[in-house]
Amino acid sequence: VSTTSPVPVPAPAAAPPTTAVAVELTAVIVAVHDNRPWVLMVDRDGRPALPSGPFDPVGDRTLDRAMRRWGTDLTGLSLGFVEQLYTFGDIGRDPVAAASGARVLSIAYLAFVAAGAAEPSAASGARWMDVYELLPWEDRRDGEAAGFGELMVSAIRAWSGADAAGDNGDERPSRLDRAEQCWSLGGAPWDPVRSLERYELLFEAGLVAEAAASGAAMPATSAATGVAAALDHRRILASALGRVRGKLTYRPVVFELLPDTFTLLQLQHVVEALAGVTLHKQNFRRLVEGAGLVEGTGRRAEGLTGRPAELFRFRRGVLRERPAPGMNLPGRR
Amino acid sequence: VSTTSPVPVPAPAAAPPTTAVAVELTAVIVAVHDNRPWVLMVDRDGRPALPSGPFDPVGDRTLDRAMRRWGTDLTGLSLGFVEQLYTFGDIGRDPVAAASGARVLSIAYLAFVAAGAAEPSAASGARWMDVYELLPWEDRRDGEAAGFGELMVSAIRAWSGADAAGDNGDERPSRLDRAEQCWSLGGAPWDPVRSLERYELLFEAGLVAEAAASGAAMPATSAATGVAAALDHRRILASALGRVRGKLTYRPVVFELLPDTFTLLQLQHVVEALAGVTLHKQNFRRLVEGAGLVEGTGRRAEGLTGRPAELFRFRRGVLRERPAPGMNLPGRR
DNA sequence: ACGAGTTATAGTCAGAGTGATGATAAGTCG
DNA sequence: CGACTTATCATCACTCTGACTATAACTCGT
């Protein structure tokens, strides 16, 4: 079955590629205040859009560095955690560019800004926007169907039934299966991480405004389906949100969003804001302390009300002890 | 802190980017036979290389579809699971191209081919190569330091000490910390998922041949550090391996690598081959059955030796029951 | 000063999941 | 028929998880 070394025949693929396309960086810059996740958005033809910048093939030695430099310029803030997300390249994703024959590739990056940092420089035209204004169904902190409702569920049911009848063989999971898995319509628990799948399902079902080619029927804003963004930027945001939520569970990234010291309730609120679900308070405390993720400073917070809480800090030592330290979200597995 | 809608000022970033760079797709096509993971490689100037193909901005409507089409042509096999990995764009990654002023961006994809599928078409010049021939330290199935040895450990220790002395502030984790985490030098258990970090550490420490700019001192092949590949393809492979290992734990992707029915031992061997660690047999069986990942067909395997095992198949129903069904690797967390 | 309200923090308990080990079943091969 | 090999079942201690209860410490209004 195997040859240990490949034969020394030049493969056809080895010829240097010559395809030219436009490449840009797109940033999903996230912060958390006031129990809400915020994302930095600019305006693009009247719609909110993720900030994008050109990729400079001469000046930028690595993509990561390009992202860091440009993101810092844009926000005037120092970016904590920075990670490449995904490269988006569908032909229809930028209709304007497509019309002129250009193909736009966006390398999306995810970055965190610590709470308490300054505002973005006004010159950039960038503003913080509530993530759940764009993806309202992803926030389940106040009840299952908060802002989503049975309406949407039945719409999805009706739509997913449409091909269950057609029975596409049993290769790919049916739309019904996908809908059930995404929205926990069957017995399965809600999985915060699947935000991208949920957005894609809504898109396919024609329930988000972006799905209507060239601004047809749907309103750009609805309480249930949120505010439409430019191009495929809501898709990118949904993918970022899923990544953040997944990452939370096995890497201590939350601390990049918090000040150096914080109370356990603050920490819990940040996790809840990102995960879009509420957590059991006592268990959360036990978990993070028991896992050695945090350590108490002797000091206490300037209490607003109630018993003053101890201030904690991230305990770097965990990294040496556990390979995958993070916050457990309920119902994973 | 927040304005609900962004101000309607055209952001500087909204101007269409015009940067032109060469974009190619690079495939990490993986199969498992004989208790080993195999990757499809071609020859490139005498070194093994991952197959790469140009991205066609006109013909390919989506990146995923481009990958599928081209990968199928290349291998003559049908690709099961296909997933975008990462986009690599370091300026130094293709010295030949760089010399001529071109910047090459590779969008790397991971794809699986089921066992028992046919050989790749000979015309492509592609051959299967043992993944652990390229990344020998990633295979820990026969003992901790199999093929790696205390030598490498101390080399890394020496190197990582080099900046511990310099003490770069305590922003980024020190090299010593990184080395300890990657190789479980401290108390931490070995984490199969960190293959990319390990490769990058070896690269930085100058312990892999690719690190020597323009073929200086290091031999292209060594028992401990493996066979050097073209460009940054070993880095891409390491990143793919980490992704596969991670994915195993929360999504039932193994089954894409197996025939429709299989024995539990076969399943275990595939998981072990990919994870590079051995698993406890009884617990593995209990886990996989208890989680509802598989279901027995009544039939038994044509036993070679020993008691014949029952044949199992993947149980699609899990997807409806659990959000994140997968194989637990030891020592995660 | 005191009690109501609010938040922090410790403790307890049942059930699920995990790692390790032993015992038994069912084939093949000499 | 016995040695060998692999499959499969059962058990046990231990940790982790989810839910609940009780107590501590502070602010504020009266």
pLDDT of residue A221: 72
Mean pLDDT in residue range B234-259: 95
Give the strand pairing for A261-262 and A310-314.
antiparallel
Contacts of B17 in chain A (CB under 8 A): 22-24, 52-55, 104
Distance of CA A53 to the CA centre of its chain: 19
Answer yes or no: is B179 CB < 7 A from strand D. no
Answer yes or no: is B287 CB < 7 A from strand D. no
Residue B6 scores a pLDDT above 50: no
Contacts of B45 in chain A (CB under 8 A): 14
Instruction: Dump pLDDT digits (tens) for A99-145.
Output: 777 788 999 999 999 876 666 665 578 889 999 999 999 998 887 65
Report the half-sphere exposure of B203 (CA within 13 A, side-chain side).
Answer: 19
Instruction: Dump pLDDT digits (tens) for B114-134.
Output: 876 666 665 578 889 999 999
Distance of CA A117 to the CA centre of its chain: 21
Mean pLDDT in residue range B231-244: 96
Q: Which nucleotide is nearest to A308 (CA to C1')?
A: D26
pLDDT-derived band at B9, boundaries 50, 70, 90: very low
Answer yes or no: is B303 CB < 7 A from strand C. yes
Answer yes or no: is A3 CB < 7 A from strand D. no
Residue closest to sugar C1' of C9 by CA: A282
Report the half-sphere exposure of A100 (CA within 13 A, side-chain side).
Answer: 10
Residue B146 scores a pLDDT above 70: no
pLDDT of residue B49: 95
Contacts of A126 in chain B (CB under 8 A): 6, 11
Q: Please tell me the distance from the alpha carbon of residue A44 to that of residue A135, in angstroms, as a whole number.
A: 19
Q: Please tell me the distance from the alpha carbon of residue B123 to that of residue B125, in angstroms, as a whole number.
A: 5
| Residue B175 or B46, more confident | B46
Low-confidence ranges of chain A (pLDDT < 70): 1-20, 116-123, 144-151, 162-173, 213-220, 303
B129 phi, psi to nearest 5 deg: -130, 140
pLDDT of residue B178: 83
Q: Which residue of A has its CA nearest to B330?
A: A323
Average pLDDT of chain B, as a whole number: 82
Rounded, the Å distance between the CA of A316 and C1' of C10 is 25
pLDDT of residue B289: 92
pLDDT of residue B265: 93
Instruction: Dump pLDDT digits (tens) for B92-101.
Output: 888 777 777 7
pLDDT-derived band at B303, boundaries 50, 70, 90: low
Q: Please tell me the distance from the alpha carbon of residue A110 to that of residue A239, in angstroms, as a whole number.
A: 10
Residue closest to sugar C1' of C22 by CA: B282
Q: Which residue of A has its CA nearest to B123?
A: A11
Residue B271 scores a pLDDT above 90: yes
Yes or no, beta carbons of B20 and A22 under 8 Å apart:
yes
Residue B196 scores a pLDDT above 70: yes
Q: Please tell me the distance from the alpha carbon of residue A27 to that of residue A77, in angstroms, as a whole number.
A: 14
Lowest-pLDDT range of A184-198, B168-182, B253-267: B168-182
